[in-house]
Amino acid sequence: MIFMPASPDRAPRYLLAGIVGVLIVAGYASTLWLYYPGAKTWDAKYVYQDIAKGFYGDWQSPVMTWLWGLIDPIAPGSASMFLLIATTYWLGFALPSLALAVRGDRWALLPPFLALMPPAFVFVGTIWRDVLSSSCWLIAAGIAFIVAERPSPIRIPAQLLALALVVLGVLLRLNALLAAPILAAYVIWPDRFAWRRTVLAYVPAGITLFLGVQVVYYGVLGATRQNALQSIMIFDLGGISHFARENQYPVEWSEVENRQLLDSCYQPTEWDIYWRLEPCEFVMHKIEREKGLFGTSAIPKAWLLAMARHPIAYLEHRSAFMWNFLAGSNPTMWVADIEHPPERIFQDRPAFTALVSLHDALKPTPLFRAGSWFGAVPGGMLVRLAVGRYARRRVRARDVRLRRDLRAELLSCRRCVRLSLCLLGRGGRSCGRRRRGGAIPLFAG
């Protein structure tokens, strides 16, 4: 067998793809080295307990419970879910990086380094459905990027796989439904994405996804309704009470409790401050245990009534919460050992301890502010538009110069032809000097 050497055009591409592959493998290996078998959160603990019970509830995603139970024999405990999260995470960055490398684009080196950025990398070792949902969407976007502008027999199956991953992301994290139609539009029209078409398809796609969630959760898996949405209503009622300076809950409080409710209890940080954080646990103790109102129609009625009476207070509460989310210092890297509180996980690993120290040092910086990354998206789009406009202007200016030079060259060539014909004696009327026998020939025999 004769092996042909790689063409000069392909050799740099193969080298770039090889470098990308090494970076991805190194990043994946470092993730396993630092985090295995994963940092278990309280949510993860509850989900794993549900697997043992054979119980599917909708407080945590029942799809997460089903999926974890499916892969648990591979590595029982948190390790199986951690391996799935780590693998999908790095695959999501590998797909666009390798696609760019094959095209010879040096930007292919960027995704592996983005995957190692502290805001993302400190989450990859945590057993959270949020991380798995995001990883699924990374893969979906990567698949769409690969098949864009490349008609092939596998394009439609690849797009169907990407759409399935978009749906899986919603099933894992229900509030992802708000962003899913936009990503789905990109998956369907990766080379012809248009905002107008996306806006028109947004509502129908959102309704379709919501109905699909109901079918999968309660029809296929038979999940038990646990009224997770009412937990948000409880938080909103506390916020409206604080800003309106008036109790909005459908229960009465003692004078001390009412003062705490209106003044010190409210924090625009976490939704469960009225459930488990002292000194405000009395709120859910009375609503859920004493009065048995949680899970009944009393909570939604009180929520709707509070928003109707105090819309400004509701907006103040939601604005405070959003500002804290965008600009505040929110929980990021999970280090608590829930099996041995108050100890920290992986205390015997110097590399993990160094990563925690790096996280703590960078935590006050814009790197760990969600608003910085939200602002980077429109900022990047504006830069891209500016660069594109500048590039188009340069192309137009170059085209004008080329047309002008071409016109001059053609004119010069026409003059040369006329002169040549004149000198050879075949110029006819193109020559200025004439005699009876025609033009004066250059070579007279």
CA Rg value for the chain: 33
Q: In the prediction, which pLDDT does 360 show?
A: 93
Q: How many CB atoms lie within 10 A of CB 394?
A: 10
Decide: 309 and 357 in contact? Cβ < 8 Å: no
Q: What distance in Å separates the CA atoms of residue 140 and residue 235, rounded to the nearest whole number?
A: 34
**Phi then psi for 247, rounded to 5 degrees?**
-60, 130
Tens-digit pLDDT string for the chain (445 aa):
333 344 446 668 888 999 999 999 999 999 999 999 999 999 999 999 999 999 999 998 999 999 999 999 999 999 999 999 999 999 999 999 999 998 888 889 999 999 998 888 999 999 999 999 999 999 999 999 998 867 778 889 999 999 999 999 999 999 899 999 999 999 999 888 888 888 999 999 999 999 999 999 999 999 999 999 999 999 999 999 999 999 999 999 999 999 999 988 899 988 888 988 788 889 999 999 999 999 999 999 999 999 999 999 999 999 999 999 999 888 889 999 998 888 899 999 999 999 999 999 999 999 898 888 888 777 666 676 676 676 667 767 776 776 776 666 666 665 555 555 555 555 555 454 444 444 434 334 3
Q: In the prediction, which pLDDT does 443 show?
A: 38
Four-residue CA torsion sign, 301, 303, 307, 309: positive
Burial of 235: CB neighbours in 10 Å, binned 0-12, 13-18, 19+ = buried
Q: In the prediction, which pLDDT does 407 show?
A: 67
Q: What distance in Å separates the CA atoms of residue 333 and residue 118, rounded to the nearest whole number?
A: 9
Q: What distance in Å separates the CA atoms of residue 258 and residue 264, rounded to the nearest whole number?
A: 10
Which CA distances in Å does 431 have to 66, 317, 409, 423?
93, 91, 21, 9
Q: In the prediction, which pLDDT does 408 show?
A: 66
Q: How far is CA 379 from the centre of its chain?
A: 16
Q: What distance in Å separates the CA atoms of residue 354 and residue 121, rounded to the nearest whole number?
A: 14
Q: What distance in Å separates the CA atoms of residue 38 and residue 81, rounded to the nearest whole number?
A: 8
Q: In the prediction, which pLDDT does 377 show?
A: 72
Four-residue CA torsion sign, 429, 430, 435, 441: negative
Q: In the prediction, which pLDDT does 422 show?
A: 54
Structure tokens at 55: 């119980």
